[in-house]
Amino acid sequence: MILVENLHKSFGEAHILKGISTCFDQGKTNLIIGQSGSGKTVFLKSLLGLFQPEEGKICYNDRIYSQLTDDEKRDLRKEMGMVFQGSALFDSMTIEQNVMFPLKMFTDMSKEEMEERVDIVLKRVNLPDAHKKFPSEASGGMQKRVAIARAIVNNPKYLFCDEPNSGLDPKTAILIDNLIQEITKEYDITTVINTHDMNSVMEIGEKIVFLKDGHKAWEGSNKEIFKTDNEAVTNFVYSSELFKKVRVMYQEEDRN
Amino acid sequence: MALFYYMNYLENIGRYFLMIGEVFRKPTKWSIMKDLILKEIDDLIFNSLGIVVFISFFVGGVIAIQTALNIDNPLIPKYLVGFATRQSIILEFAPTFTSIIMAGKVGSYITSSIGTMRVTEQIDALEVMGVNSINYLVFPKIIALLIYPFLISIGMFFGILGGWVAGVFGGYSTSAEFIQGLQSDFDMYHVFYAFTKTFVFAFILATIPSFHGYFMRGGALEVGKASTTSFVWTSIVIIILNYILTQMLLG
Ligand SMILES: Nc1ncnc2c1ncn2[C@@H]1O[C@H](COP(=O)(O)OP(=O)(O)OP(=O)(O)O)[C@@H](O)[C@H]1O
Ligand SMILES: [Mg+2]
């Protein structure tokens, strides 16, 4: 579980996060949604400690992030996995070496054990035979899946994904979403996902936090998001004709 | 406005020294670091061998020809060609000017490779995993460049060889005279001075370009700009330290 209280983050004059409080549960896919530029990436990076928030409290279960020493922070980060918006694979390493990297760095596994573990996770993300390729030789969807494999290889307790399905076709996007959800359930991980894709919201939005202008404008589940009257949310959700129809459908469902 | 730029410089100098401190904290596992160091030795030292040999050889030749053409006074002994070539190459050309060339070659390579890792969030990925990214990226470069004096020795050898070839085959000096010049008034302290400079420049070559890559912001365009800025600053710092070290060690 991750608890966030009154989080503030500015860059110089620009106040990006203006006091956000929320809670992300274990074993659930938690979604952060909002328009491009609403501060989703800044929020996620502040959770991870890549940005230092000026104010606010972040608790990882019973550990309060700001009260940890540098070494304790590094130990906590070994329990985290992160899928970056642009995958952020190490381009000097093969796919296999990328996925093996956290194991090599932080475990005492033998080479055989590491190879076995890499095989398991690469199969898990449906890349059974891409080991020797370099990231530049892989498609965007493959890179995303390698990034997921690298993030989960060392059994993280917390998984963060920054727009894991942006730039992918709808079918691959749904596959990636479902994959993340399955992994979350399978290993009982606390997962936080940034997205502005309404399909993801419908598919895996167990808990949704809606950001607007640096504030939390709304939170709830994917069942609730189509019923809320919150204007900011409806403006975002019903910007597409398709979801206007979805709303009508839900409303009719409710009447019956 | 001027004050702003001044503050900016001070801030960057402070950040540079903080970075140096961070290089030696929380070291990366040796089994991984070993491979990183070997890779950097290959990229930074062995890949520079060709250009150092090439430039040293021809500049050595030019130094010999110019010295010979400037001494048309019959009272000045001919072996001076070899002597002057040796002195110029060991004292100044090999340590300092090769380092300026390396600031262009090795420096821009370091800045652009670290800068690309910054803009593609690979550095963030390292940090998120709990890796000390400054140690991971900069330490192997510093260690690899400890071998830099070896590169400079090779530069010295080929510079003097180039001088000999140009002197003898150009008819400016006989081989015996040239070699007599090479051996006359040999002062070990000059070699010590040259290698002290080389070690200092090696450290600068590893760290200033790393600094510019590591702390850059923006995208691919800025990576190019950062490489240029990095070359300018690395050269300036080398030139200034060259002056200071010369004053301290020879003055
Ligand atoms: N390192 C930084 N320095 C200064 N400003 C920043 C920095 N990172 C982000 N910002 C600013 O913070 C705001 C929010 O950016 P952020 O990247 O969090 O948006 P986002 O919601 O993730 O958008 P997208 O959906 O396009 O990824 C933007 O206005 C951006 O300019
Ligand atoms: Mg973003």
Instruction: Look at residue A241 and tell me if it is in a domain.
Output: no
Whole-angstrom Cα distance, residue A183 to residue A164? 14
Residue of B35, B113, B114, B129 to mutate for A, most A C-beta atoms under 10 A: B129
- Cβ atoms of A2 and A60 closer than 8 Å: yes
Q: What average pLDDT does range A120-134 have in this prediction?
A: 90
Residues of chain A with Cβ-Cβ distance to B127 below 8 Å are 50, 77
pLDDT, residue B13, reads 92
Residues of chain B with Cβ-Cβ distance to A50 below 8 Å are 124, 127-128
Instruction: Look at residue A253 and tell me if it is in a domain.
Output: no
**Which two three-digit tokens encode residue B149?**
């004096």
- Cβ atoms of A213 and A18 closer than 8 Å: yes
Atom 4 of ligand 1, nearest CA residue: A11
Q: How far is CA A234 from the centre of its chain?
A: 23
Of A44, A107, A118, A45, the residue nearest A78 (C-alpha): A107
Q: Which residues pair with B96 in a beta bridge?
A: none
Instruction: Look at residue A233 and tell me if it is in a domain.
Output: no
- Cβ atoms of B127 and A92 closer than 8 Å: no
- Give the Å distance between the CA of A10 and the centre of ligand 1: 11
Whole-angstrom Cα distance, residue B140 to residue B24? 11
pLDDT, residue A17, reads 94
Element (H, E) at B86: helix B80-88
pLDDT in tens, A132-150: 999 999 998 899 999 999 9
Q: Give SS3 for A51.
A: coil
Instruction: Look at residue A143 and tell me if it is in a domain.
Output: yes
Q: What is the distance in angstroms between the CA of the first residue and the CA of the last residue of chain B?
A: 38
Q: Domain range for residue A145?
A: 2-222
Atom 31 of ligand 1, nearest CA residue: A37
> How many domains does chain A contain in total?
1
- Cβ atoms of A209 and A30 closer than 8 Å: yes
Q: What is the largest CA-CA distance in chain B?
A: 72
Whole-angstrom Cα distance, residue B66 to residue A256? 100
Pocket of ligand 1 contains residue A211 by CB under 6 Å: no
- Cβ atoms of B136 and B236 closer than 8 Å: no
Q: What is the CATH number of the domain that holds A81?
A: 3.40.50.300
CB atoms under 10 Å from CB of B70, counted, come to 12
- Cβ atoms of A154 and A127 closer than 8 Å: no
- Spans of chain B below 70 pLDDT: 1-2
- Cβ atoms of A143 and A151 closer than 8 Å: no
Instruction: Look at residue A90 and tell me if it is in a domain.
Output: yes
Task: Note the pTM of the prediction, 2 decimals.
Answer: 0.89
pLDDT in tens, A39-85: 999 999 999 988 999 999 999 998 999 999 988 888 898 899 999 99
Residues of chain B with Cβ-Cβ distance to A101 below 8 Å are 129
Pocket of ligand 1 contains residue A36 by CB under 6 Å: yes
> Roughly what angle, to the nearest 10 degrees, separates helices A111-124 and A95-106?
130
Mean residue pLDDT across chain A: 90
Q: What is the ipTM of this complex?
A: 0.88
Instruction: Look at residue A203 and tell me if it is in a domain.
Output: yes
Instruction: Look at residue A111 and tell me if it is in a domain.
Output: yes
Could you give the residue ranges of the DSSP H alpha helices within chain A?
40-48, 70-77, 95-106, 111-124, 140-152, 170-187, 198-204, 222-225, 231-237, 241-255
**Which two three-digit tokens encode residue B202?**
């090696």
Nearest residue of chain B to residue A159 (CA atoms):
B128
Q: Exposed e or buried b for every residue in B175-205, given b needs 16+ CB within 10 A?
A: eebbebbbeeeeeeebeebbbebbebbbbbb
pLDDT, residue B171, reads 86
Nearest residue of chain A to residue B28 (CA atoms):
A105
Alpha-carbon distance A174 to nearest alpha carbon in chain B (angstroms):
24
**Which two three-digit tokens encode residue B244?**
């200071």
pLDDT, residue B2, reads 65
Instruction: Look at residue A234 and tell me if it is in a domain.
Output: no
Q: How many residues does chain B have?
A: 251
Tell me the percentage of chain A whose pLDDT exceeds 70. Answer: 100
Whole-angstrom Cα distance, residue A52 to residue A61? 19
Pocket of ligand 1 contains residue A42 by CB under 6 Å: yes
Whole-angstrom Cα distance, residue B115 to residue B211? 9
